[in-house]
Amino acid sequence: MSHKIKFKIQRFDPTKDKKTYFKEYEVSLDMWNTVLEGLIKIRNENDPCLAFRMSCKSGICGSCAMRINGRARLACKTKIQDIYKNYSEVKIEPLGNLEVLKDLVVDMEPFYAEMKNLEPWLKNSYEKGQHESRVSPEENQKIEKSGECIWCAACFSDCPSREVNKNYMGPAASVQAHRFIFDVRDEHKKERLEKITDKKIWLCAHCEKATENCPQKIDPQSVISDLREETIHNDITKTIGAKHVLAVDKSIKLFGEISESWLPVWTFGPLKVIRETKAALKLLTHKKFPTLKPKKIRDFEDITLLYHEVYKDALEKIKNSGRTRKKMVDAQRTRH
């Protein structure tokens, strides 16, 4: 059954307009039609100059990534009924964090540059011979998911860390790095880990937007966690992020809890902490200054045992925690 669906689309033609503006349309569509089908209809019947990219119409080429009602996703996989559950119009804007070239077409070059910068190709020098390299199904499974990335930039678009710091490579590049770092055929793991550390793997703010947006359901959040852990296992610990992780570990081992006074010292170093004297004094006057001589907590032995258990299953736990988070995000997604 056809409905009159309202579209509100951001327009911008740099050859004519000084700034972006919204234009409204009304299209006859079924609830099972997709946003892309709506856009095509608008261009064919209404507004021939509307510019947007598309190709496969089945969610695998990545051309039609755009912000739909505030969230970047593929227009060809977004059904009208998905939007109309919560909104009364389909609001479309181009991807974020990238310059608008015309209407919904953005300059993807900075995104591609981040991907290329990581040298996304296999690097090894062992003798190959006439047969394939052997990769076990378990080894393969480790990179199958991150290998599914279609470079659509839906994650990159809404990444707040990228928005405030252009030196952060973004979630897609992290996923791309993962695909090679954990490929058993690649021989440049340490180098790659150094590279992603330089490109600020620790800047991810855990906002979960990448995981929510990814049309391939890759869960960049978990991927980034995996990568961070891998940097520490490979002794790359010069960043604040890594130092913080190690500081938490140390604190729990020593005191059975997180010491708010010692954590900053171990994370930032004593010199930096001294600069925070003003804040420290404020805490003192409000009697909220954390003790400098934390005692071991009451059930310290239990904590130690627990901690050893955790350490033992640490890798398992981290993987599982990613999946649990993903389950929650999936549940939330289907609610929309």
| Site of interaction with another protein (CB under 8 A) | 13-15, 43-44, 48-49, 51-63, 77, 101-103, 105, 108, 116, 119-122, 128, 130-137, 140, 143-144, 147-148, 150-151, 183, 185-186, 217
For the bound state, the minimum distance from the C-beta of residue 171 to another protein, rounded and expressed in Å, comes to 17
107 torsion bin: left (phi>0), alpha (psi -120 to 50), beta (else): beta
Which residue, 151 or 300, has its beta carbon nearer to another protein?
Answer: 151
For the bound state, the minimum distance from the C-beta of residue 80 to another protein, rounded and expressed in Å, comes to 13
For the bound state, the minimum distance from the C-beta of residue 42 to another protein, rounded and expressed in Å, comes to 11
Kindly report the number of other CB atoms within 10 A of residue 13's CB atom: 13
Residue 247, CB-side half-sphere exposure with 13 Å CA sphere = 19
**296 neighbors 255 (Cβ within 8 angstroms):** yes
Q: Report phi then psi at 80, rounded to 5.
A: -55, -40
Q: Report phi then psi at 318, rounded to 5.
A: -65, -40
For the bound state, the minimum distance from the C-beta of residue 330 to another protein, rounded and expressed in Å, comes to 12
DSSP string, 53-103: --S-SSSSS-TTEEEETTEEEEGGG-BHHHHHTT-SSEEEEPPSSS-EEET
Which residue, 50 or 204, has its beta carbon nearer to another protein?
Answer: 50
Which residue, 25 or 266, has its beta carbon nearer to another protein?
Answer: 25
Structure tokens at 1: 């059954």
Which residue, 83 or 252, has its beta carbon nearer to another protein?
Answer: 83
Comparing CA positions, the residue from 56, 50, 196, 33 lying closest to residue 120 is 196
**First-last CA distance in the chain:** 21
For the bound state, the minimum distance from the C-beta of residue 110 to another protein, rounded and expressed in Å, comes to 14
Which residue, 148 or 260, has its beta carbon nearer to another protein?
Answer: 148
Which residue, 60 or 265, has its beta carbon nearer to another protein?
Answer: 60
For the bound state, the minimum distance from the C-beta of residue 176 to another protein, rounded and expressed in Å, comes to 9
Residue 233, CB-side half-sphere exposure with 13 Å CA sphere = 11
Kindly report the number of other CB atoms within 10 A of residue 61's CB atom: 17
**290 neighbors 260 (Cβ within 8 angstroms):** yes
Compute the 3-state secondary structure of the chain and give helix, strand, coil in percent, each to the nearest 5. Answer: 50, 10, 40
Which residue, 136 or 285, has its beta carbon nearer to another protein?
Answer: 136
For the bound state, the minimum distance from the C-beta of residue 69 to another protein, rounded and expressed in Å, comes to 17
Which residue, 113 or 310, has its beta carbon nearer to another protein?
Answer: 113
For the bound state, the minimum distance from the C-beta of residue 38 to another protein, rounded and expressed in Å, comes to 15
Which residue, 122 or 284, has its beta carbon nearer to another protein?
Answer: 122
For the bound state, the minimum distance from the C-beta of residue 136 to another protein, rounded and expressed in Å, comes to 5
Q: Report phi then psi at 10, rounded to 5.
A: -75, 130
Comparing CA positions, the residue from 226, 236, 181, 206 lying closest to residue 246 is 236
